[in-house]
Chain A
Amino acid sequence: MKQSTRRNGLEELDVKNGASQRRKIRHHTRQSRFTIAIFVATTFAVSLRTSVLAQSDAEFMNANQAYAQSHFVQAIDGYEGLVRSGEWSANLFYNLGNAYFRTGDFGRAILNYERALALERRHPEATANLQIARDETRALEMDQSWSERYLRSTSNNQYTIVAAIAFWVAVLCLIRIFLRRQSNVTVMLAIFLLLVFAISTFAIYEFEYGSKGMALAIVTGKDVQARLATADTANSVLALPPGSEIKILSTRGDWLYAALPSNLRGWIPVKDAERVRL
């Protein structure tokens, strides 16, 4: 009797220990599965990305080869395919601009050089070719304010980083002043940093909403006339050679209202201009 009771007790203990062990094993299994799933997903994503990169690299090389063999239309198709897939880079737009230049489409050549420069402000090849293309078409450029001209020495993203750093360091200085540990150096530093923050913010605003901001577009059509009203028969305001810069102010149907070089404004068919920023 005692023995059977003891056996039962041991069995119960075994059962209890087994359950706890099973719980532990199940928990470990779940953790392992989760880790494996993350690993597999990461590996899959990396391999997918690598495969996409390899594919786009191959397309880029093919387009370059077509260009080298003077098959410019084929090269344009290749580059445009990469642009559609979102694999943007300054060199891609620069090469696409060169291909359009070779086909005599100077408007689109200038558009793509501008896109290359929008992605990489200091792209010497794009700058040089843009000047050549502009000379070819006598394209008109938007007038820049003095502040835009001076602030363009640094890129928008650099101004953003400077503004963020200046802001946080200025906040630290203000906290120090608030904790009554101020010194003249801290106060001067705080004022200086707040000034840097304000100038950087102003520069970012100018970059975005200035004459060469996000609304900048390039005339890609030929014999484009900016008009006083949304009709082909309306009076002409300005003849815009291909590659001329405009700033889109609004869009109405098939027409867009734009600020033009020489401080003029007029209506242009939508199909004759493309925004620089995609």
Chain B
Amino acid sequence: MFDPKMGRAFLIVTLGGVFAVSSVFADSPTVTAVLRNSEAMVGETVELQIKVNGRGSAKPPENILVEGLEIHATGTSTQFEMRNFTTTSSVIYSYTILPLRGGRFTIPPQTIRVGGNSLQTPELTLNVVDSSGLSSAARPSRSAQSGNAGKLVFAELIVPKKTAFVGETVPVQIRLVFDPRTHPQLVEPPEISGQGFTAQKLQESGETPETIDGRTYDVATFKTAIAGARAGKFEIGPVKAKAQVVVPRRPTSPRARSPFDSFNLDDPFSDPFFSDPFSQFGERREVEIKSEPVPIEIKPLPQNAPSSFSGAIGNFTMTTDARPKSVQAGDPITVTTTISGRGNFDRVNAPVVEDEQGWHKYPPSSTFKQDDDVGISGTKTFEMVLSPNEKKQSLPVIAFSYFDPVKGEYLTLRSEPIAITVQGGTAATQTTIASAPRVTTPATAPAAPKQEQKPADILYQLTERPAVAESFAPLYTRPVFWIAQLIPLLGLLGFAGWKTRQARADNREARRTAALQHEAAELMRKLHRGNLSPREYYAEASRVLRVKTALASSNRGIDPNTVDVETVAGTFGLNGDSRERLRRLFEQSDELQYSGTHDGLGKISSQTRREVLELITNLK
């Protein structure tokens, strides 16, 4: 018998085993590094994250030394992830970078010890723009902000770059600045107008108080990303939004100058709010908030795009893994490729297999996990199933090409050859490992020209045709469907009719039975009274017997008028003396009815009456 305790123990052991196995076979530790923003201004901080995947304690660098940059560790966070019974943990070490001067900085690879392994982060590049190199509209300078400072409500459009490539994702920030006394209510969210670019959906990233030129404002920040659709010089914006704000009522008479403002000082009490004694009941008005447009130059991408280039622009790293590593020929191997970094992930398509000879490739699936509000930074994971048609020693090289806007060139990341064992099948005519270049991951060698790789080919033509033409019309719009519904409907109607008829028949039978019972009762009352003549008495007695017989055999529907001695005797199972008495009663009744003697002796003895009544009442 099944013991619940044993079952529970078995479940715990099984789960423990699964976790133990998954831990044993967990990925070997890897390390990636990513800059939250590859572009920054002097004095603007940028976050650097070093992510260590895998178990074991890691020793990250406490300080990273780069001339012109101040880099300090700011914290550590841990992530746990479970997928297909495989748990992965990762530790993220965060650093803050403060650029001290403009220029292009290279953050060298950092060595991190994880358990017994020594891993290196990829080299990162940070472009720092001197504040003088930006237009006032692109990044409002102090003076520009000072110009806005007197206003109650204004908008800023912040575009960190003045030039970009077609398709390159440029993060954009919109700041709506309100004087808190205006009690703003946003009526229409900000909208970026302009041509030549596409903009993602705006994401509101919160409202914070900020001091601008000594005055406190509430700043609502919206984030989005734009991508140039074609080359040329364009203007982004202006950004327009509508809000309801409380504005002070217009003074009816010129206001006396504040004694504090005699020397044209910036007297806070000179503010119009304080000139109106009813300022708190100020007028609520809808105002349009508009920023200055920002010019941007969109440059075309270079012509020598590699064939595996799918439009990805940014800075990416790639890791590849495959499961299982030992298969039979024809069995599927799931190749998981993870592309992390910063760029236009909507254009990051699955990496390509460089040499498909001896492999059958199935369409890949993908998932994207974004690390920021607008989806510029994150990790896209592709799962592609490859099936070896012949003996193989390693997986084919997986390649992913992208355009690096900082370097201004196409780069191709290639996976390291992953050793596998394929049982069965014929020997490979040309092993993948021999044909593929051995490049370490992530290799950032310039991509090969387009002609080197063949494009994915479509499947063959089909020659079969159905005998009947197919239709796009849904089944429920076709007459045949509704005609088919008539079958159960007619069945239902037929059933309803049959039930009605049966109910009526039952009703008729019930009425007949009730009438017969009533008649029998009435006759019995008459027989008990004793004031009947013999002819009437015997006639009523024989009638009672007939009615009782008809009632007893109601399922046969016998008419009381057709009941004779044999029927009564048969129905009630009479024999011997009872049957003889019954015959005599019927004969007596018939004799009195038809002989003309009418009432015979004139009176029935009480003995005879008792016998007759006893005979009738015993019939059950």
Q: Give chain A's interface residues, CB within 8 Å of chain B.
A: 53, 56-57, 60-61, 64, 67-68, 86-92, 94-95, 98, 101, 115, 118-120, 125, 127-129, 131-133, 135-136, 138, 156-157, 160-161, 164, 168, 171, 175, 179, 204, 207-208, 225, 235-239, 262-264, 277-278
Given the contacts A89-B469, A135-B456, A125 and B462 also touching, CB distance less than 8 Å: yes
Residues of B near A135 (CB, < 8 A) are 310, 349-350, 456
**CA gap between A94 and B459 in the complex, in Å:** 10
- The closest CB in chain A to the CB of B496 belongs to A175
Given the contacts A91-B465, A171-B492, A129 and B474 also touching, CB distance less than 8 Å: no
**CA gap between A90 and B472 in the complex, in Å:** 10
- The closest CB in chain B to the CB of A52 belongs to B469
Q: Is the CB of A239 within 8 A of B229?
A: yes
Residues of A near B10 (CB, < 8 A) are none
Residues of B near A208 (CB, < 8 A) are 474
- The closest CB in chain B to the CB of A113 belongs to B458
Q: Is the CB of B465 within 8 A of A236?
A: no
**CA gap between A94 and B200 in the complex, in Å:** 34
Given the contacts A98-B458, A164-B485, A262-B200, A156 and B469 also touching, CB distance less than 8 Å: no
Given the contacts A57-B465, A125-B462, A236 and B198 also touching, CB distance less than 8 Å: yes
Q: Is the CB of A238 within 8 A of B198?
A: yes
Kindly provide the distance from the CB of A52 to the nearest chain B CB, expressed in whole angstroms.
10
Residues of B near A132 (CB, < 8 A) are 363, 456-458
- The closest CB in chain B to the CB of A140 belongs to B346
19 A-B pairs within 8 Å (CB atoms) are namely A60-B463, A64-B461, A64-B463, A88-B469, A88-B471, A88-B472, A89-B466, A90-B470, A98-B461, A125-B459, A125-B462, A128-B458, A128-B459, A131-B363, A132-B456, A132-B457, A136-B456, A235-B195, A263-B201
Residues of A near B201 (CB, < 8 A) are 262-264
Residues of A near B457 (CB, < 8 A) are 132
Residues of B near A204 (CB, < 8 A) are 474, 476
Given the contacts A235-B195, A239-B198, A262-B200, A92 and B465 also touching, CB distance less than 8 Å: yes
**CA gap between A171 and B197 in the complex, in Å:** 58
Kindly provide the distance from the CB of B382 to the nearest chain A CB, expressed in whole angstroms.
12
Kindly provide the distance from the CB of B199 to the nearest chain A CB, expressed in whole angstroms.
9
Kindly provide the distance from the CB of B150 to the nearest chain A CB, expressed in whole angstroms.
32
Q: Is the CB of A60 within 8 A of B465?
A: yes
Q: Is the CB of A235 within 8 A of B193?
A: yes
Given the contacts A64-B463, A87-B469, A235 and B194 also touching, CB distance less than 8 Å: yes
Kindly provide the distance from the CB of A47 to the nearest chain B CB, expressed in whole angstroms.
15
**CA gap between A94 and B463 in the complex, in Å:** 11
**CA gap between A136 and B470 in the complex, in Å:** 29
Q: Is the CB of B474 within 8 A of A91?
A: no
Q: Is B133 an interface residue (CB 8 A)?
A: no
- The closest CB in chain B to the CB of A126 belongs to B459
Residues of B near A115 (CB, < 8 A) are 472
- The closest CB in chain A to the CB of B352 belongs to A135
**CA gap between A204 and B485 in the complex, in Å:** 17
Q: Is B206 an interface residue (CB 8 A)?
A: no
**CA gap between A256 and B455 in the complex, in Å:** 34
Summarize B's interface: helix, strand, loop or mixed.
loop
| The 9 residue pairs across chains A and B that have the minimum distance between CB atoms | A131-B363, A157-B475, A277-B472, A91-B462, A160-B475, A129-B458, A168-B488, A125-B459, A239-B229
**CA gap between A179 and B500 in the complex, in Å:** 12
Residues of B near A87 (CB, < 8 A) are 465, 469
Given the contacts A236-B198, A239-B229, A156 and B461 also touching, CB distance less than 8 Å: no
Which of A92, A125, A225 has a CB less than 8 Å from the CB of B229? A225
- The closest CB in chain A to the CB of B363 belongs to A131
Q: Is the CB of B465 within 8 A of A89?
A: yes
- The closest CB in chain A to the CB of B362 belongs to A128
Residues of B near A156 (CB, < 8 A) are 474-475
Residues of A near B229 (CB, < 8 A) are 225, 236, 239
- The closest CB in chain B to the CB of A97 belongs to B458
Which of A88, A161, A235, A262 has a CB less than 8 Å from the CB of B470? A88
Residues of A near B466 (CB, < 8 A) are 89
**CA gap between A89 and B470 in the complex, in Å:** 5
**CA gap between A67 and B458 in the complex, in Å:** 13
Kindly provide the distance from the CB of B591 to the nearest chain A CB, expressed in whole angstroms.
53
Kindly provide the distance from the CB of A62 to the nearest chain B CB, expressed in whole angstroms.
12
Q: Is the CB of A138 within 8 A of B476?
A: no
Residues of A near B193 (CB, < 8 A) are 235
Q: Is the CB of A94 within 8 A of B476?
A: no
Q: Is B481 an interface residue (CB 8 A)?
A: yes
Q: Is the CB of B465 within 8 A of A157?
A: no
**CA gap between A207 and B456 in the complex, in Å:** 31
Q: Is the CB of A118 within 8 A of B472?
A: yes
Q: Is B180 an interface residue (CB 8 A)?
A: no
Q: Is the CB of A138 within 8 A of B470?
A: no
**CA gap between A98 and B349 in the complex, in Å:** 22
Find the residue from A164, A171, A175 having the highest chain B CB count within 10 A.
Answer: A164
> Restricting to B548-576, which residues have a CB under 8 Å from any CB of A?
none
**CA gap between A101 and B459 in the complex, in Å:** 11
Q: What per-residue 1/0 map shows which CB atoms of B124-142 lie under 8 Å from chain A?
A: 0000000000000000000
Q: Is B577 an interface residue (CB 8 A)?
A: no
Residues of A near B475 (CB, < 8 A) are 156-157, 160-161
**CA gap between A225 and B229 in the complex, in Å:** 9
> Restricting to B483-499, which residues have a CB under 8 Å from any CB of A?
484-485, 488, 492, 495, 499
Residues of B near A138 (CB, < 8 A) are 310-311, 347, 349
Find the residue from B347, B349, B469, B484 having the highest chain A CB count within 10 A.
Answer: B469
Kindly provide the distance from the CB of A263 to the nearest chain B CB, expressed in whole angstroms.
7
Q: Is the CB of A68 within 8 A of B461?
A: yes
Residues of B near A119 (CB, < 8 A) are 470, 472
Q: What per-residue 1/0 map shows which CB atoms of B520-543 lie under 8 Å from chain A?
A: 000000000000000000000000
**CA gap between A101 and B472 in the complex, in Å:** 23
Kindly provide the distance from the CB of A193 to the nearest chain B CB, expressed in whole angstroms.
13
Q: Is B464 an interface residue (CB 8 A)?
A: yes
> Restricting to B417-472, which residues have a CB under 8 Å from any CB of A?
455-467, 469-472
Q: Is B196 an interface residue (CB 8 A)?
A: yes
**CA gap between A94 and B465 in the complex, in Å:** 11
Q: Is the CB of B469 within 8 A of A129?
A: no
- The closest CB in chain B to the CB of A118 belongs to B472
- The closest CB in chain B to the CB of A226 belongs to B198
**CA gap between A129 and B363 in the complex, in Å:** 9
Residues of A near B495 (CB, < 8 A) are 175
- The closest CB in chain A to the CB of B457 belongs to A132
Kindly provide the distance from the CB of B457 to the nearest chain A CB, expressed in whole angstroms.
8
